Structure 1
Amino acid sequence: MLYQFDGKQPQVETGTYVSELAHVIGDVIIGKQCYIGHGAIIRGDYGRIVIGDGTAVEEGVIIHAPPGDTHTIGRKVTLGHGAVLHGRSIGDLAVIGMGSILSIFSQVGQRSIVAEGSVVKLNQVIPEKVVVAGNPARVVRAVSEQDEEMWAYGKQVYIDLAAKYLKQDMVPVS
């Protein structure tokens, strides 16, 4: 559901699916062909959130912005189930693993992968094309060609899923 707050309301581009079970609040801009999953919370209440085309915000993801700042999430980013994101930026084609935490003012470079359950600390900057893991997140290796092939497939799955949800609604079962 989309909610106006403090005179601002979310903007959602064409081909994007936003679950009725999601909460998208205030100053939020969502690009084309995105998937905003069930139970996601995107809070643009005291900061702006900009989500690029083809990005998947999976179930249970929470996105916020630093106060008075913008949290920019690039194109074709995968935000895994249950991730908590309060950073400044996530580059194009990045992957944020399930249950990861990106603390306030953090930045993740394009094509990087944050492993499941990792914690990117306050002001931490993750470079481009690396895999990070742990608490705090540390570089464990470079992104491989195999990683990029696998995640290209995964990203397309969610673009296709968004289109499918737009074509056929969920139907409550009694």
Structure 2
Amino acid sequence: MASRPAPAPKRPSQLPASKPPCTIHPSAIIADKAQITGSHTVEIGENAVIHPWARIRAEGGKVVIGKNSMVYEGATVGTVDGEDVLIGDSVNIETGAVVEARSVGDGSTVEVNAVVGKGAVLGKWCRVAPLECVEAGEQLEDFTVVYGDGRRRVDKTTKEHAEIRELKRAGQEKAVQAMRTLIPNAMAKWAG
């Protein structure tokens, strides 16, 4: 039998996404498989963590990720068209979540597969439960929890006790330090 010729090498069907201008704090951790695209500026703060397969989209405007914030696997932050996205300090954007909000306040958490619509504003210490949705343009006051089919309540424990907020901040800092040992840093791929 005759041997078959080797197949021709495949070429990518499309050009790679453009690399945006990035300002990244030296202590930030960005996984090699993270995706950062667009033409607008991306700023990543001190000790921020961008997990593998997380997507930062700066096609529609600037994206700012605050210090000690984490964007988990499969989460998307930013917009394709529209406005800037500001993520505060000590924020968690969990696996599969989509955040197109104008801003997410310090200490807030957007849980697994939750969606925060374009132009929404989340106050400080808010929580959006798994699979929940904050509509485009909606504004949530500080300490709001979105849960169970779109219901809302105020997290009085966190609101009324500064020591709880401080413990949550300290826990976030420890989680960031744990990620430092688990995620190889490929920040150089995006810097400069």
Check if 1:111 corresponds to 2:128.
no
1:65 is aligned to 79
Residue of structure 1 equivalent to 2:36? 24
Gaps of 5+ in 1: none
Structure 1 contact 42–64 (Cα < 8 Å) conserved: yes
Q: Which one of 144, 147, 151 corresponds to residue 157 of structure 2?
A: 144
**How do residues 1-174 of structure 1 correspond to structure 2 at under 5 angstroms?**
4-5=18-19, 8-26=20-38, 27-65=41-79, 67-135=81-149, 137-145=150-158, 148=165, 151-152=168-169, 154-165=171-182
In percent, how many aligned pairs have the same letter?
23
1:57 touches 1:78 (CA, 8 Å); kept in 2? yes
Return the alpha-carbon distance in structure 1 between the equivalents of residues 185 and 66 of structure 2. Answer: 24
Task: For residues 67-111 of structure 1, give each alpha carbon's deviation from its aligned partner in whole angstroms, at most 9, with x where no partner exists.
Answer: 342100000101111101111110011111111001111111101
Q: Highest CA radius of gyration, 1 or 2? A: 2
Residues 60 and 84, structure 2, Cα contact 8 Å, conserved in 1 = no
Please give the secondary structure, in 2, of the residue aligned with 1:155.
helix
Q: Which has the higher strand share?
A: 1
The structural deviation recorded for 1:153 is 5.3
How many Å separate the matches in 2 of 1:169 and 1:50?
A: 19
Structure 1 runs, 4 residues or longer, greater than 3 Å off: 145-154
Q: SS in structure 1 opposite 2:180?
A: helix
How far apart are 1:55 and its partner, in Å? 0.3
Q: Over residues 8-58 of structure 1, what are the superposed CA-to-partner deviations in whole Å (9 max), with x where a residue is unaligned?
A: 422211111101111012421110101101110101112111111110111
Q: TM-score, normalised by structure 1?
A: 0.82
**Does the C-alpha gap of structure 1 residues 129 and 169 become closer, same or farther in structure 2, counting only changes over 3 Å?**
closer
Unaligned runs of 5+ in 2: 1-16, 187-192
